[in-house]
Amino acid sequence: MPPTLLDSAAMATPARPVPLAALLDGCATAVQAVRAGRSLTDVLAAVEPTLRPGVQALAFDVMRKLGAAAEVGRMLAPKRPAPWVDALLCSALALLWPAEAPAYPAHTLVDQAVAAARRRVPAAAGFVNAVLRRFARERDTLAAAALRHPVARWNHPAWWIEQLRADWPAQWQALLAAADHHPPMTLRVNRRRISTDAYVQRLAAAGLGAAVPADPAIGGQVVVLERPCPVLALPGFTEGEVSVQDAAAQRAAPLLLAGGLAPGARVLDACAAPGGKAAHLLERADLDLLALDRDADRLERVRATLRRLQLRAELRAGDAGNPRDWWDGRAFDAILLDAPCSASGIVRRHPDIRWLRRAGDLQSLAAQQARLLDALWPLLKSGGRLLYATCSVFRCDGQHQIDAFLQRSIAADARLLPASPGHLLPLPDNCGEAVGPYGDGFFYALLMKT
């Protein structure tokens, strides 16, 4: 699962006010990079710290409206301008899109977008001014015309829309609409350090309102903040009392541990980075845990997470699909396979994913998932459990993958346990007794080796 970008300008506050033109410049650069195939997470990490919170806030908003903005841009400028200028236009058009409470007055946005163009591409300033002023004058008419196109209406690529329609014929529209909602900021309380109730009291003392979901399936460590705040403003964060993790992601540890693992049980987290699920397992049980990831740099994030939470595990860089390169021959009591996937279930948190993914990615990801399942299953003890997880709402990443695995000869001794939740959709009616906003989209299948 990709690292989470905290979706709020409040996550950090610049030391001094930053001109909107500078933020639009940075936002346009980010949009151009995403269109070229770069992750918004990586792009924002390279932005100057004083600009990053504002650029992030604008970029998230633009990503959620990029389909509509691009369609209007084509209507107003049939000949596509240079990439950065086009990205600036799309950014400004997205931010000018009709809204009940616009973040900026139209004249301010137009003026500052022109200023950004004048600084970067002076020859394009007049063109940007003309396009944006026309949209501001004819906004309702032009927006209505653009929304006749599905990509503009739903702000997702056409193939993504069709994939959801095929997988979820009754829910596809709700899923597309939900993807443009801001996600909640959800915490996981480290119960080795403090109880959930005691931590909620600490939040209240710090002026931070929170709700505790009642759904027992998510393990009792979940706290949902009323509004996002900077991570370092969370009481006890530096001391390891709490982490940021979505409620749906917090189902993994309770599922894998529900059958009961003896102290010191040997557990593999096969695709461990950035470390949230590994840490959650260690918060709930005393385990001999191997955290494996093929990316040595990302494995350092696991190390930092465990150090902050004062937890211990063995960390090793290696491809889970090639056990001969890293496995010592000792079978595991339990395996967590949080497999690479489309990440379609976490598009609220990573709105760039919809524009980065391609339809062809699904087939290659499915092949990778199958390879990992087949490679890891022989490493499990008889009576052991493997939890297959993806942060996806596409059936090819979830139920179709497990159905195919259970049909292969290597899985002759595999049984799908009734506790398996299957697909968890990021919709309000899929959160049981939970209090507060619903979680991300996930798939879980719990398999036992007979």
Pick from 158, 218, 180: nearest CA to 352: 180
Residues belonging to the active site:
391
With CA atoms as reference, report the closest residue to 253 among 223, 288, 273, 279. 279
Q: What is the pLDDT of residue 430?
A: 60
Tens of pLDDT, residues 143-166: 999 999 999 999 999 999 999 999
- Would 364 be classed as within a structural domain? yes
Is 62 among the domain residues?
yes
Which CATH number goes with the domain that contains 229? 3.30.70.1170
177 located within any domain: no
Q: Is 271 within 8 Å of 292 (Cβ atoms)?
A: yes
The answer to whether position 169 is within a domain reads no
Q: Are residue 305 and residue 430 in the same domain, yes or no?
A: yes
Q: Is residue 266 part of a domain?
A: yes
Q: Is 168 within a domain?
A: no
Given a contact cutoff of 8 angstroms between Cβ atoms, the answer to whether 47 and 53 are in contact is no
226 and 300 assigned to the same domain: no
**CB contact set of 367 (below 8 Å; sequence gap of 6+):** none
- Expressed as residue numbers, the domain containing 130 is 9-155
CATH number at residue 356: 3.40.50.150
Check whether residue 213 and residue 120 sit in a common domain: no
Number of domains, the chain: 3
Whether residues 291 and 391 fall in one domain = yes
| Model pLDDT, residue 438 | 75
User: Per the structure block, which two tokens stand in for 131?
Assistant: 């396009």
Q: Are residues 204 and 344 in the same domain?
A: no
Q: Point out the residues of the chain with pLDDT beneath 70.
A: 1-16, 429-437
239 and 260 both lie in a single domain: no
Q: Does any domain span residue 167?
A: no
The answer on 393 and 340 residing in a single domain is yes
| Claim to verify: residue 113 and residue 195 sit in the same structural domain | no
Asked if residue 331 and residue 240 are part of one domain, the reply reads no
* 336 phi, psi to nearest 5 deg: -105, 120
Of 155, 178, 199, the one marking the end of a domain is: 155
- The Cα 313–Cα 302 span in angstroms is 10
Residue 239 and residue 257 share a domain:
no
Residues 231 and 139 in one domain: no
- Ramachandran region, residue 79 (left: φ > 0; alpha: ψ -120 to 50; beta: rest): beta
Q: Is residue 179 part of a domain?
A: no
Which strands make up the sheet holding 186-189, listed edge to edge?
210-211, 222-225, 186-189, 242-244
CATH number for the domain spanning 24: value is 1.10.940.10
Residues 234 and 262 in one domain: no
